[in-house]
Amino acid sequence: MVKKVLLLCSIIFVLLTAILFSFDEFDRFNPFLQKETSYANVKANTQDYQNITIYSANGEKRDYKLSFNGYDPSKQKVKITHKGTYVEHIDYIDKLPFASLK
């Protein structure tokens, strides 16, 4: 009987953990995601960036978009450190590491 209860509790724990990690808000804690660095062009004269298309260092478009806040409304190019859709840090840069956005 104890084994069945332990097994049931284990299954419930695994299922709840899988469900929690499937939401974007939990990307920060997801141990299966690695930190990445991406780049993007952002609009000038704003600090609230929504649904920004991001690119790898090679200029390849990523499959998802990010939303984040900035601190310099005059800059238009950013380097983004993120884990999934969780943005950890942004840096404003003068030049993208690839030729141009596609």
Question: Are 88 and 27 spatial neighbours (Cβ–Cβ below 8 Å)?
Answer: no
Banded pLDDT at 98 (limits 50, 70, 90): confident
Among candidates 70, 77, 72, 80, which has minimal Cα distance to 42? 77
pTM attached to this predicted model: 0.74
- Residue 41: per-residue pLDDT: 92
Q: What is the DSSP secondary-structure string of 13-56?
A: HHHHHHHHHTSGGGTTT-TTPPPEEEEEE--TT-SEEEEEEEE-
pLDDT digits (tens, 9 = 90+) for 31-43: 888 999 999 999 9
Residues 7-25, mean pLDDT to the nearest whole number: 81
pLDDT digits (tens, 9 = 90+) for 32-91: 889 999 999 999 999 899 999 999 998 899 998 999 999 998 899 999 999 989 999 999
